[in-house]
Amino acid sequence: MAKKIIIALAGNPNSGKTTVFNNLTGARQHVGNWPGVTVEKKEGTCSYKGYNIKVVDLPGVYSLTAYSPDEVVARNFIVEEKPDAVVDIVDAANLERNLYLAVQLLEMGAQLIVALNMMDEANSRNYRINVEGLSRLIGAPVVPMVAKRNQGTMELLERIVEVAENKVRVKELVINYGREAEEEIAKLERLISQDGEFSRKYSSRWLAVKLLEGDEEVIKKFKEVKVG
Amino acid sequence: MYIKLIQLQKERSEAMPNKPLSELRPKERGRVVKVGGEGGVHRRLLDMGLVSGSEVEVERVAPLGDPIEIKIRGYHLSLRKEEAINIQVEVE
């Protein structure tokens, strides 16, 4: 029996996510809907080094708030299903905007791999990206790619297997939000960690930050637990 | 007295020429000072990189002034007029 890996593909719209998905899964894909919302759900499989890799294509999003169904779908999959790896397809020619999503994924404690796509486009604009430096800075593997020419796919698969096998661990990113916010975050975190089930399932810091933001989806989660 | 007040106002507006992003013409640049808007819209604007301090340049304005296309953080973003009205910029 082949060992199973589940990965999610995340990324901004127009970052080449679908191209990467097609490169990975070829014709082995099917399309459905996420339960309860009219957001398309694409899944495919691929085999690599004795692994059966299930690839879930998440909706293209800029952020992971509770305001749009696309973002909620993407976020819920990552926090609830905990895929073995989350591949964030990043437009290398548009790093600043794209890395915002990467930072949010890291804050959620996702096992992130950054696929630095459209490297040709970045090069033609004379952008020089220090791939190793970026990887060190964010604490996650970074794979340069040109998805439309199927460049970088093998290296991406290699990194996916490494992360799924726990050879590489991506640490949850902790951003200091300043003294006042941090005091409140700490208080909430203490309360959350008293509930064993919650703190086993989710990052308590992430939940605390979301509660402070007034994130309706996360508030709903807490209400359900109290009632149930 | 009245004239003095006008003068004071004029000086102030010259020192801090803040105005809504919707009033900038193509090629005009500025620095974001304040982002307004309600809940979801506000958050989305911040998510797209429109935070105080970011540099913006108006690229094009559609007829009747809606929507407008701006350049921010190296990419192009289209905004409805009603969104641009709530973004205060300091004009360079």
Q: Within this chain, do residues A155 and A70 fall inside the same structural domain, yes or no?
A: yes
Do both A41 and A109 map to the same domain?
A: yes
Average pLDDT over residues A193-218: 89
* B74 with A94: Cβ contact below 8 A: yes
Contact between A97 and B73 using a beta-carbon 8 Å cutoff? yes
Same-domain status, A22 and A128: yes
Nearest CA to CA, how far is B82 from chain A (Å)? Answer: 19
Domain contains B12: no
Q: Is residue A190 part of a domain?
A: yes
Q: A68 and A142 share a domain?
A: yes
**B7 belongs to a structural domain:** no
The answer to whether residue B32 sits within a structural domain is: yes
pLDDT tens profile B24-68: 999 999 999 999 888 889 999 999 999 999 999 999 999 888 999
Q: Are residues A156 and A91 in the same domain?
A: yes
Residues A69 and A158 in one domain: yes
Q: Supply the pTM of this predicted model.
A: 0.88
Q: Is the pLDDT of residue A9 over 60?
A: yes
Residue A211 lies in a domain: yes
Task: Report the candidate in B48, B36, B41, B42 with the shortest Cα–Cα distance to residue B86.
Answer: B36
Return d(Cα A90, Cα A185) in angstroms, integer.
30
Within-domain flag for A189: yes
Q: CB A146: neighbour CB atoms within 10 A?
A: 20
B contacts of A63 (beta carbons < 8 Å): 43-44, 47
Structural domain span for residue B86: 17-91
Over residues A115-151, the pLDDT tens digits come to 999 999 999 999 999 999 999 999 999 999 999 999 9
> How deeply is B92 buried, as exposed, middle or buried, from its count of CB atoms within 10 A (0-12, 13-18, 19+)?
exposed
> Is the residue at A8 inside a domain?
yes
* Rounded distance between C-alpha atoms, residue B87 and residue B24, angstroms: 11
**pLDDT class of B13 with cuts at 50, 70, 90:** low
Best residue in A61, A65, A104 for a mutation probing chain B (most B CBs within 10 Å) = A65
Q: What is the CATH number of the domain that holds B76?
A: 2.30.30.90
Does any domain span residue B3? no
- On whether residue A171 sits in a domain, the answer given is no
Q: How many CB pairs under 8 A join A and B?
A: 27
pLDDT of B9 > 90? The answer is no
Query: Do A29 and A135 share a structural domain?
Result: yes
- Whether residue B6 lies inside any domain: the answer is no
The residues with which A88 forms a beta bridge, in sequence order, are A10, A114
Average pLDDT, chain B: 87
- pLDDT tens digit string along A70-85? 999 999 999 999 999 9
pLDDT tens for each residue of A16-60: 999 999 999 987 888 888 887 778 889 999 999 999 999 999 999
How confident is the model at residue B8, as a pLDDT? Answer: 62
Q: What are the C-alpha distances in Å from A52 to residues A112, A159, A222? A: 19, 15, 35
Would you state the pLDDT for residue A37?
79
Count up the domains in chain B and report the number: 1
Domain count within chain A: 2
Residue B54 lies in a domain: yes
How far does the CA of residue A74 sit from the closest CA of chain B (Å)?
Answer: 16
Domain holding A216, by residue range, is: 179-227
Res A228: pLDDT: 47
Could you tell me if A200 and A135 lie in one domain?
A: no
